[in-house]
Chains A and B, each alone.
Chain A
Amino acid sequence: MYITLIFLGLIMATIITWLLRQTFNTQPWVTEAADDAVSGTSLDTNTKAVALTVFLAVATSVFALFISAYTIRMEAPDWRPIAEPTLLWANTVILVLASVAYHWTRNAAVKGIESRVRPGLTVSGALTVLFLLGQLVAWRQLNAAGYYLDLNPANAFFYLLTAVHGLHMLGGLWVWARSTMKVWTGADSDSVRLSIELCTVYWHFLLLVWIVLFGMLLST
């Protein structure tokens, strides 16, 4: 559980430090004109960006807990490591490219370069779908090689972790599909700019998670 504790420790420390900074040196019982002028918005950013940040904290918690469970279960004598398919390297590269493509699209949307948004979104989505298909193929390869889900916890964890990561990816694709539909039906990039910006963050996050998971799978 150390890994979870470290991740959650960092998250909680950030929250607590921030909250304490808001609350030290205040005397709420004194009516101060300076306080009256304070707007009720704590963070100088979009509401949806705040919600995404909170959601990323939740997702971090989920993955950290899976990783903790993995490291604890790994120590039992029945653990037989699997030989990860080489295909996973190719999938990783595709996911990196998807992230890069999303970032490129984001830059275009922010700068208002309309011509780059449509192809950018299309390429990002296509690469992501390709990644997911690649993961499915990796499953089939493992299954064909006799690494069945119920044969060993190492196998089970492989299918489980990749599935959970893939499901998060699918959730992202849902939002991607909505903004892509909008753009293809003629909306200007400004109306989807926020969605693209937030998706970019989400794609980078899931890339980071995948690299951590892949590294863990490879090294154990």
Chain B
Amino acid sequence: MTTHDHGKYLPYLGFGLGLRVEHYETLLQDAGHVEWLEIISENYMVPGGRPLAWLEKFRERFPLVMHGVSLSIGSTDPLDEGYLQRLAALARHIEPQWVSDHLCWTGAHGVNLHDLMPMPYTEEAIAHVVERVQRVQDALGRRILLENVSSYITYAQSQLTEWEFLAEIAERADCLILLDINNIHVSAHNHGFSPLDYLAGIPGKRVQQFHLAGHEHGDQLLIDTHDAPVIGPVWDLYEEAVRRFGPVSTMIERDDHIPPLAELMTELEHARKLALPLLKAAA
């Protein structure tokens, strides 16, 4: 199945997982119903050795997508051309279904914060990001996906909602969207907006992938840790997203406290059980 009906011309991959070292051997022995894998791009942007040897094995068995954390598309530092070249080389080598990163900045003035810093939602920031997305897409020879990040800070200068900002960039840069359903839930709590308003403001034809993950409760704010199971309200929001956006490739993203593969497969199966009846009903 492809998502031509969304005008995206990228395949619908079904239900997948983020590839983690802890699951390498188990996944190759028995992948269960894992239909595709997302790799962290930077983990394989290396000269050689074991990471690339493992990657070859997974490449033979699964459709892969690349997900980066260091593009820093929103930074006012120049784009890191060395990074971009390595990213493009990896993409040429493994031929992923698509390449994604985050709508954020990770550093400035040569310092990297190794965090997904949210952008101020301003016209100036939109113009800045759009121009850079277009340059990245030219360098990669393909459209990229931008993911919404969880955020805690609020910029005094922001003039738009987060979803207006994301939607406008996607339209003007002609890029696609990776919606992290957990991140919408976390940011909605932290900033006091409705997650349903967020979904309603996203152009459906540009949504190519969903992330599902867990988070922690801080004293006042939700902290996006991606280290816990998906919670009920996030599953509810996922169902709403499926109703709204139709068949979108979905994966469980666990970044820390990595559980046995079987646990993530159970979560993935839950996503499948929620989504498939909704997709069938809509068909």
- Do A and B assemble together? no
A residues whose Cβ falls under 8 Å from a Cβ of B: none
